[in-house]
Chains A and B, each alone.
Chain A
Amino acid sequence: MTVIEVGREDRGGLTLRQRWSHYLVLIYGVAMLLISINLRDSILYATVPYEDVRAGIRAFYPKGWLLDNEGDYVFRVRDMTRPDFKTTIQVQIIPISVDSTARNLLDNLLLTRAQIFGQYRQYPRAAFQLSDESTATAVNYTFVAGQDDPFLESFPTVVAGQDIVVLQREQAVIVTFQVSAERYDQLYPVFQTFLEDLDF
């Protein structure tokens, strides 16, 4: 039988058991918050190793991105789940002469891409420090990307990109990051993580 006490108001005092139960629930809540963030990061920022012995490239690219070796690049990975422009990271090696400079290379890239990409625009170049403290040249640019299939209707997307150019011996390594412009800041950490783990 349930005991009813009428006319006597409990002022909310908790027993020790109740208090500890409550604390345990709070601790559980905080723990789950931290574990959730950790789980999110471990999945969002999970990486897959990649190695090309002939090119001398070792890298870790984001897990779940589509790996492609079939073009004129060492490899390219794209996030195919993105609704707009498929975020792309690409590593390319171009033979150069001993007299070539990063500026020559970037000028060539600009001239080539200006003919392929719509509204291609390059911004001032800057020095970029890699994780091994060597210096590279970084250049940011934007262009407009559209659907290649003429039978489909797509709105073009403004794409922001960054190229990191490193000259070594008789080759230039160009690491490219391209993403929808409105997500550039949000997804740039992914590229930063990639650069930190990139070895060539």
Chain B
Amino acid sequence: MTFRRQGAFGVAVALLCLNGASGVIAQSDVLDLDRIKRATVFIMQARQNITAPIITCVGSGTLVSRDGLILTNAHNTVPNANCPGDLLIIALSVRPDEPPIPLYQAEIVQADEGLDLALIRIARTNDGRLVEPSTLALPFVSLAESDEPRLDTTLTIVGYPNIGDDAVADVRGTIIGFTAEPSGGNRSWIKTSAEIPGTMSGGGAYNQNGELIGVPTTAPVTPDSPESTCLTLQDTNGDGQANTSDNCIPIGGLINSLRPASFVRPLLRAASLGLGIEFLTASQQQQETTGSPTFSGLFFAPSVNEAGLPTTTIRSLPSGSTSLYLFFNYANMTSETVYELRATIDGILNPTFGLSPVRWSGGRDGGWYVGTSEQPLPNGLYDFTLFINGVASDSARLLVGPAEPAPSFSDIVFGVEDIQGNIAGNGFVLPVASTVSARFIYRNMVDGNAWAAIWVRGGAEIPGSRVEEAWTFGEQGTRTIRIQAPSGLLPGSYRLDLYIDNRLAATSNLTLAGAQDGRFARIFDDTHFTTADSVEEARTAAAINSFSAQTESIYALFDWQLLAPDTLWTVSWYIDDQLFFEQTLPWSASETGENFVMRITGRENIPDGTYRLELKLNNLLFGSQSARVGIGQLPIDRFSNTSGVQIIGTIFDTYTGTGISGAAIFIITEDYSAADFLRDWNQTQVFAEAITDRNGRFEINRLLQPEIQYSFVIVADGYLPITADGVQVTPDDETLDIPIYLTPG
């Protein structure tokens, strides 16, 4: 390349870098930290006492709607053993550099104790007066649209670092990894390098665009745990001293895990629309736990399949691996159980591959995994220890590094076998039949290796199903085994364990349910909607797929067959293709039946939209139905936009220089001028309005959009009005603080 060309190339590269840098700078300028801090609240759970409320738990929260919906954790808001309060007090950062001031009381709207997420809504003022949500115009944040935050993304975590003594604070960090769990797949948790104080749990983690991408979450362990922190603040027993005899407030340790915003979205949608789902056929109460929670049967897998099952089991992992899953069995777990995974590499604690104490989001008994993916695993000896409520439960060890290839089984797939010997079906949920086949891949096997296959149902080996023999099928390939029952296999959950030399080499689960429909299972049938005055009437009412607006409730019904009790099934509800409810629960109705009834209700009526019900097992769809309410589309929420420019300011008297109290500022929509407004004085022409306080301060709580020309009208008693047309903000503006001087008339 000639010198001239080199120079030109260098200039081009420099320009590209500058352009990229300016793009980065411009992006970082989008993060409106002031607004986010104002939208971050401090939550105190309390219980009523004769004289004063007693604080039981504290945490942070984030306003996610202008009418007072707050996103936070469930562990410090929903009453439970550690946090037994029934009163939620919301404190706001009225002044950004000062501790928050309690202003409101809130009520729980939606909660998922397993995910440790809750949505609460401001309902009353401190003195107990009802607050009409439409009168609130609070700053709020929006959830990130994308579900895919990337590694090394810069995060800003906002919350309260203390028990309300300090102003709202922010902590910076980056995304260093993701933790997988069955409840949410490979991105059940976002791991961050930031060290987040425990009281920031429930706050928000934001990307550079100011969008909420996760909720810092940690559950404080029980006060009697050796690692717990519990602060005594009040004399709760009335003995005249505030000491260890009094109730204390549990505080979690440092947080490095965030619940992704994708978990929040359905809850938020249901809460903001006021939608609720009731199961009217079977009781959904879980059986009482009969013993202490335990973990057992730890093993590792390099990956999971689409059903959330291990592809194989391993005892070591080759260098350069980027995913690892720790599987284990659990028993007697509840949603209030706090579990934790600590990982060390060569004896050194590594938080990237662990999980800070969080609430249990699985069922009572079953299998679970915690994993990591898209993350290079350094070579070394890994020790994983599981803790329950702060007490070590079980551990397992794994070597990452060069290893000799070992015999392995993997990728177990179940199905119905055809004449040619091909496995058909969807792999993990099959219709009830007399024969089920399982095919698996084998590698590095040596003829003569001892191998075994054991079929398990309901935790017990199926008699006569075991295969134990010497391997004679070659070094690698696929093999198919079967289980048969002439009278038909019973519906329910099955497991196949494959062993090599008495070591578990692979395992996978299978569900048998429903009747045969070709090669697939027909489990749910006649899914339909209707409206009725009672459950009994709904069972006989005709199916409807289009409901009028203002419908108060809708019934959803379906038939089912051959669904064994305790089989996990998933109900998902969508509105306009957006999920607003999803729950996986054990089947507790009869094995076969008709008219399983659910009911969907709204705050007053069902909002207009297209509703869809999906019924799944093992993430596979087995029933679906849609219905339309009203116009079949959600109305546009004109207040839900968080991008734009906020206008605040002060109105002064020209002569005295003091603020004018009670002055009104109107921002007129682009369709009208200031003169139109002063002629008509009609609320429909108003985009936003504000009234000054006693210092002349005002805040416009609706954000102005660039490229729209607004008109401004400012009036006050005894002063000449100020009007302006064609006022336009620019995309670079954030919050504009405007001084305005009014002249007496």
Q: Do A and B touch (CB < 8 Å)?
A: yes
> A residues bordering B, Cβ < 8 Å?
63-71, 80-84, 86, 115-118, 147-155
A155 touches B694 (CB 8 A): yes
Q: 4 additional contacts, CB 8 Å, given A63-B681, A147-B691?
A: A65-B681, A80-B689, A83-B662, A84-B662
22 contacts between A and B (CB under 8 A): A63-B681, A66-B681, A67-B681, A69-B683, A69-B684, A70-B684, A80-B664, A80-B666, A81-B664, A83-B660, A83-B717, A117-B129, A118-B125, A118-B127, A149-B693, A150-B138, A151-B92, A152-B693, A152-B697, A152-B699, A154-B661, A155-B694
Cβ distance A115 to chain B, nearest Cβ, rounded Å: 4
Residues on the B chain within 8 Å of A116, using CB? 129-130, 132
B137 close to A (CB within 8 Å): yes
B683 touches A149 (CB 8 A): no
Q: Of A63, A67, A68, A152, which contacts B698 at CB under 8 A?
A: A152
A115 touches B695 (CB 8 A): no
B656 close to A (CB within 8 Å): no
Q: Of B92, B127, B129, B695, which contacts A150 at CB under 8 A?
A: B92
Contact A149 to B661, CB < 8 A, known contacts A83-B717, A116-B129, A117-B129: no
A153 touches B694 (CB 8 A): yes
B94 close to A (CB within 8 Å): yes
Q: How far is the CA of A81 from the CA of B138 in the complex (A)?
A: 24
Q: How far is the CA of A65 from the CA of B681 in the complex (A)?
A: 6
B600 close to A (CB within 8 Å): no
Contact A81 to B694, CB < 8 A, known contacts A68-B683, A117-B129, A148-B136: no
Residues on the A chain within 8 Å of B660, using CB? 83
Residues on the A chain within 8 Å of B684, using CB? 69-70
Which of A86, A152, A154 has the most CB atoms of chain B within a 10 A radius of its CB?
A: A152
A-B contact count (CB 8 A): 80
B701 touches A149 (CB 8 A): yes
Q: How far is the CA of A63 from the CA of B681 in the complex (A)?
A: 8
Q: Which of B488-531 contact A (CB under 8 A)?
A: none
Contact A148 to B130, CB < 8 A, known contacts A66-B681, A69-B683, A70-B683: no
Using an 8 Å CB-CB cutoff, how does the interface string of B127-167 with A read, 1 for contact, 0 for none? 10110101111100000000000000000000000000000
B695 touches A149 (CB 8 A): no
Residues on the B chain within 8 Å of A118, using CB? 125, 127, 129
Residues on the A chain within 8 Å of B689, using CB? 80
Q: Which of B103-137 contact A (CB under 8 A)?
A: 103-104, 125, 127, 129-130, 132, 134-137
Cβ distance A96 to chain B, nearest Cβ, rounded Å: 19
Contact A83 to B129, CB < 8 A, known contacts A70-B683, A155-B694: no
Residues on the B chain within 8 Å of A151, using CB? 38, 92, 94, 699
B46 close to A (CB within 8 Å): no
Cβ distance A23 to chain B, nearest Cβ, rounded Å: 34
B285 close to A (CB within 8 Å): no
Q: How far is the CA of A69 from the CA of B682 in the complex (A)?
A: 9
Q: How far is the CA of A63 from the CA of B125 in the complex (A)?
A: 35
Using an 8 Å CB-CB cutoff, how does the interface string of B74-109 with A read, 1 for contact, 0 for none? 000000000000000000101000000101100000
Residues on the B chain within 8 Å of A63, using CB? 681
Q: How far is the CA of A148 from the CA of B38 in the complex (A)?
A: 15
B716 close to A (CB within 8 Å): yes
A150 touches B94 (CB 8 A): yes
Residues on the B chain within 8 Å of A64, using CB? 681
Q: How far is the CA of A82 from the CA of B663 in the complex (A)?
A: 8
B682 touches A67 (CB 8 A): yes
Contact A153 to B695, CB < 8 A, known contacts A67-B682, A69-B683, A70-B683: yes
Q: Which residue of A lies closest to B96 (CB)?
A: A151
Q: How far is the CA of A66 from the CA of B717 in the complex (A)?
A: 14
Q: Which residue of A lies closest to B104 (CB)?
A: A150
Q: Which residue of A lies closest to B660 (CB)?
A: A83
A153 touches B697 (CB 8 A): yes
Cβ distance B626 to chain A, nearest Cβ, rounded Å: 32
Q: How far is the CA of A66 from the CA of B697 in the complex (A)?
A: 21
B169 close to A (CB within 8 Å): no
B661 touches A83 (CB 8 A): yes
Q: Which residue of A lies closest to B698 (CB)?
A: A152
